[in-house]
């Protein structure tokens, strides 16, 4: 062995066994003899894979549920629908994507196939598709139109492909896994770049239904090979379901969570090490990653939350819900409780029978966007001065760059950042961000304002992560301070935003 080989071996072993942090990875092994400090250190150094970081920075993704259910007025089909029912009169995917873009969404996810098995693209695997419908005389391809619109307007494009398939004759047999791989391969090769693949966990077969064992690991391998930058969400290794469909995430939202099925033989070997299989277990409890939770884990993994919600009561379009579209204020509250709680918000906007987004949805989306624009237009932190007893780079706290950060000197984990607004201002919203490309670390924080010469606590919480947004009763103040009370290693605090909005939506 040459010297170079030895060094390489040492580095590799060091990483693979989870001791050093020489190679950045989105997982870490925990050994039975690791003490608590070592475990905390490991947790603090788990970082998102590049695809996970890109996904998190999107903040807002739009879901388009459209398909057979749009025409039968149902939420779940039967798989027995006649393809002739599918006949949008003026489908305009450009309108969908333009609406999404105007509302601030950065990516969309389209239901290429829902549980009823009807394919919105002319798949070679089945005749149960748009090819058998009257729409465009059977020559249409909705996936193609949505993909092209996303490309035109510069949005990411993702697909929802339901594992559960009520129509496929092979469903319930081994062959279904081949059938599914062929469908995936069509979608991942014929439509350009795919940014997210969304696998739903729903299955309503019931006690006498067909039992299908999904070969998820094989499917993941196909995705990694054909679209290595795509995140695989929900029933997948990259992105976790937040656990509800309400739009409201957790107060304490850790992106680093325990993983007990960490298997060294099925991690990728490219420059950034990432997990390629789904962490096992139910991840719906309130606390997924506190010190208490990670202490007894066998491994740790970067597995962030996606919060999905529909703008209407249902996932598919129903005319009787035209007056039940969520209000702009409700969407703003959801935004604070999802994006503002270290999650990505996935809002479903279902196109109607014409194949267009309805005016009621457009109107609410544009008002929601206007509320956000108004709220965040004037960041008072930009003209503030920051100081700290034990920190460096206070000048990077309001440079509107989430990858430049303030941190503490030496090994100080707790810190206080003083914020001087120079002139008294009205304040009722704060924004906090960590540089998650270096990990998630903050465990407890408080924000105080000096009011009538006394410090008043205006906001407090546990995790920050990619973004934390908090509204509170308006204060008139010149001085604020942010206390980072507990952190896993030195905090890497990238942004503080301070705002005032006339209307409050709490
Ligand atoms: C659920 C499905 O059953 C719904 O129809 C919808 O697609 C939602 C996003 O996921 O599990
Ligand atoms: Ca910054």
pLDDT tens profile 356-390: 999 999 999 999 999 999 999 999 999 999 999 89
Number of the ligand 1 atom closest to the C-alpha atom of 160: 7
Taking the CA of 382 as reference, the closest ligand is 2
**Backbone angles phi and psi of 447, in degrees to 5:** -120, 130
How does residue 142 score in pLDDT terms, banded at 50, 70 and 90? Answer: very high
Protein residue with least CA distance to atom 3, ligand 1:
202
Ligand closest to the CA atom of residue 386: 2
Shortest-distance atom of ligand 1 to CA 348: 9
Residue owning tokens 């490991």: 42
Closest ligand (CA of 308): 1
Closest residue to atom 2 of ligand 1, CA basis? 202
Four-residue CA torsion sign, 133, 135, 138, 144: negative
Q: Is the CB of 434 under 6 A from ligand 1?
A: no
Q: Once rounded to an integer, what is the mean pLDDT over residues 435-452? A: 97
Pocket lining: 164 vs ligand 1, CB cutoff 6 Å: no
Model pLDDT, residue 59 = 98
Residue 293 pLDDT: 95
Question: 146: which residues sit within 8 A by CB, 6+ positions away?
Answer: 64, 93, 96, 97, 108, 110, 157
The string of pLDDT tens digits covering residues 459-474 is 999 999 999 999 999 9
Binned at pLDDT 50, 70 and 90, residue 303 comes out as very high
Å from CA of 395 to ligand 2 middle: 8
* pLDDT score at 269: 54
Residue 265 has pLDDT above 70, yes or no: no
The mean predicted confidence, pLDDT, of the chain is 93
Residue 15 has a pLDDT of 38
Q: How far is the CA of 256 from the centre of ligand 2 (A)?
A: 22
Task: Look at ligand 1, atom 6, and give the residue with the nearest C-alpha.
Answer: 315
The burial class, CB within 10 Å (0-12 / 13-18 / 19+), for 403 is: middle
Atom of ligand 1 nearest to the CA of 65: 7
3-state secondary structure of 82: coil
Given a cut of 90, whether residue 505 has pLDDT beyond it is no
Q: Closest ligand 1 atom to the C-alpha of 310?
A: 9
**What are the pLDDT digits (tens) for 473-482?**
999 999 999 9
Report residue 257's pLDDT band, with 50, 70 and 90 as the boundaries. Answer: very high
Query: For the segment 143-199, what is each residue's pLDDT rounded down to a tens digit?
Result: 999 999 999 999 999 999 999 999 999 999 999 999 999 999 999 999 999 999 999
Q: Which domains does the chain have, with CATH numbers?
A: 1-47+256-303 (no CATH), 52-168+242-254+304-376 (3.20.20.80), 380-499 (2.60.120.260)
At residue 12, the pLDDT reads 37
Token pair listed for 401: 């760059």
What average pLDDT does this structure show over 34-40?
Answer: 96
Looking at residue 6, what is its pLDDT?
40
Region 407-413: mean pLDDT is 87
What confidence tens digit (pLDDT) does each residue in 186-221 have? 999 999 999 999 999 999 999 999 999 999 999 999
> What would the mean pLDDT of 424-446 be, rounded to a whole number?
97
Q: Whose CA is nearest to atom 1 of ligand 1?
A: 202
Indicate if ligand 1 lies below 6 Å from the C-beta of 202: yes
Query: Two tokens at 408?
Result: 């503490």
Check whether 1 has a pLDDT greater than 80: no
User: What whole-number distance in Å separates Cα of residue 345 and Cα of residue 100?
Assistant: 13
Q: In this predicted model, what pLDDT tens digit does every residue of 483-503 receive, in sequence order?
A: 999 999 999 999 999 999 998
Q: Is the CB of 308 under 6 A from ligand 1?
A: yes
| Probe target for ligand 1 pocket from 67, 198, 200, 234, with the most ligand atoms within 8 Å of CB | 200
Phi, psi (rounded to 5 degrees) for 486: -140, 140
Closest CA to 240 of 256, 228, 225: 256
Model pTM? Answer: 0.95
pLDDT interval class at 13 (50, 70, 90): very low
Distance of CA 115 from the midpoint of ligand 1 (Å): 9
pLDDT confidence tier of residue 101, bands split at 50, 70 and 90: very high
* pLDDT, position 494: 97
């Amino acid at each position: 062995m040459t010297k170079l080989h030895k060094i390489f071996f040492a580095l590799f072993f060091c990483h693979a066994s989870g001791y050093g942090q020489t190679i950045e990875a989105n997982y870490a092994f925990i050994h039975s003899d690791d003490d608590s400090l070592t475990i905390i250190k490991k947790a603090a150094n788990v970082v998102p894979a590049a695809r996970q970081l890109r996904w998190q920075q999107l903040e807002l993704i739009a879901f388009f549920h459209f398909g057979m259910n749009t025409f039968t007025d149902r939420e779940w089909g039967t798989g027995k629908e006649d393809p002739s029912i599918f006949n949008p009169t003026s489908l305009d995917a450009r309108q969908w994507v333009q609406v999404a873009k105007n509302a601030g969404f950065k990516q969309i996810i389209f239901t290429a196939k829902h549980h009823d098995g009807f394919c919105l693209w002319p798949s070679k695997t089945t005749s149960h598709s748009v090819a058998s419908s009257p729409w465009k005389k059977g020559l249409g391809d909705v996936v193609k139109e949505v993909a092209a619109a996303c490309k035109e307007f510069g949005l990411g494009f993702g697909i929802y492909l339901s594992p559960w398939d009520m129509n496929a004759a092979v469903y319930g047999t081994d062959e279904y896994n081949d059938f599914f791989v062929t469908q995936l391969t069509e979608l991942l090769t014929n439509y350009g770049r795919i940014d997210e693949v969304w696998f739903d966990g729903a299955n309503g077969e019931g006690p006498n239904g067909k039992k299908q064992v999904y070969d998820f690991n094989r499917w993941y391998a196909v995705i990694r090979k054909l679209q290595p930058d795509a995140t695989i969400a929900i029933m997948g290794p990259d992105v976790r379901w937040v656990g509800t469909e309400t739009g409201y995430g957790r107060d304490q939202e850790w992106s680093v969570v325990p993983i007990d099925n960490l298997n060294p033989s099925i991690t990728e070997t490219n420059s950034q090490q990432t997990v390629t299989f789904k962490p096992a277990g139910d991840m719906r409890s309130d606390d997924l990653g506190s010190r208490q939770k990670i202490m007894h884990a066998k491994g740790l993994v970067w597995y962030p939350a996606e919060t999905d919600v529909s703008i209407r009561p249902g996932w598919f379009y129903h005319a009787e819900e035209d007056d039940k579209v969520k209000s702009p204020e409700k969407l703003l509250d959801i935004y604070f409780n999802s994006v503002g709680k270290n999650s990505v918000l996935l809002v479903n906007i279902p196109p109607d029978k014409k194949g267009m987004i309805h005016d009621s949805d457009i109107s609410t989306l544009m008002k929601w966007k206007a509320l956000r624009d108004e709220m965040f237009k004037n960041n008072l932190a930009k003209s503030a001065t920051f100081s700290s007893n034990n920190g460096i780079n206070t000048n990077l706290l309001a440079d509107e760059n989430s990858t430049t950060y303030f941190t503490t000197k030496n090994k100080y984990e707790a810190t206080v950042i003083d914020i001087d607004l120079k002139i008294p201002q009205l304040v009722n919203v704060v924004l906090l961000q960590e540089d998650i490309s270096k990990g998630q670390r903050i465990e407890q924080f408080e924000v105080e304002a000096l009011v009538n010469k006394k410090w008043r606590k205006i906001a407090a919480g546990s995790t920050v992560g990619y973004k934390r947004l908090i509204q509170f009763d308006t204060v008139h103040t010149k001085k604020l301070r942010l206390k980072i009370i507990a952190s896993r290693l030195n905090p890497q605090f990238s942004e503080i935003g301070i705002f005032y909005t006339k209307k409050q939506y709490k």
